[in-house]
Amino acid sequence: MNNLKSLIFKDNTYYTIDKISGKKRFWDPTRSKVCAALKKKINIFPIEEDSKILYLGVAEGYTISYISDIILKGIAIGVDISAHSMQKFYLISKKRGNLVPILEDANKPEKYKDLVDFKVDIIIQDVAQKNQVEILKKNSDVFLKEKGFVMLSLKTTAISQGKTSNIIEKQLQEFRKYFKIIDYKRLDPFEKKHIFVIGQKI
């Protein structure tokens, strides 16, 4: 996959080489939706070694710590609204060097627009909100470069209690208005009623 130095696929499991200790680290697909998508054999994985990434909804920083292993020359910005989770992510990002924390609402990108004064290559979003696609669109308008990639993990139960396939169809239709869909996968059995979409800015 893009000849990434520190991402290893062995015995049907994914590992990364830890940036700090240099040891092999197991990536759990039941805790990280990006890894679950990789295990479901998604067509494309746009992250490269010099990528600049905006991650919306980092929480305590489990997934982004693996991404920080992969992007050895790049940088990742993590946004989250919960102050308690941000305490843990703050400590992780101080240790790792290529991560930066922002404590803001991902729904209001104008609040942290002034802090980030460059365009990013990829936006990863995992916020479980009713207007997930809208949030992604707002952020991509401000931060994403031309033909940059978006990775969206969509929680259908946060949107409606109706039939999962109907909700997915509707959300993908909305997604198509702003982005070109490259591939999408259901995340069963790792995450129930979730879908992972990778798209490109038109």
Partner 1 sequence: MTINLDSEKFFNKTKINIKEKLEKADQKIINISLIVDKIPKNINELSEQLRIIADLRLPTLDQYTTIKQHCEICLLDINNKISKSNFEELESLSITNDNLKHIKQIILEDIGIEIDTDYKNIIEEMCTNILNLIKLKDNLENILEKLFLENYINFYKLTNIKIASKMLEIAGSFKRLVSMPASTIQLLGSEKSFFKALKTHKNTPKYGVLYNHPSMQSLSKRNKGRFARTIAAKISIALKSDFNKTEIYPELLKKLNNKLEQYKQNNLKK
Residues that bind partner 1 (CB under 8 A): 50, 52, 73-75, 77, 83-84, 86-87, 90, 93-94, 100-104, 115, 118, 161
Closest CB to partner 1 among 3 and 161? 161
Q: What's the sign of the alpha-carbon dihedral 112, 116, 118, 121?
A: negative
Closest CB to partner 1 among 77 and 124? 77
- What are the start-end ranges of the H helices in the chain? 33-39, 62-70, 83-96, 132-143, 164-178
CB of 32 to partner 1, least distance (A): 23
Closest CB to partner 1 among 40 and 96? 96
CB distance 71 to 98 below 8 Å: yes
Closest CB to partner 1 among 29 and 101? 101
CB of 5 to partner 1, least distance (A): 16
Instruction: Give kind and range of the element (H or E) at residue 147.
Output: strand 144-155
CB distance 103 to 80 below 8 Å: yes
CB of 183 to partner 1, least distance (A): 27
**How far is 133 from 173, CA to CA, in rounded Å?**
10
Q: What is the CA radius of gyration of the chain?
A: 16
CB of 86 to partner 1, least distance (A): 6
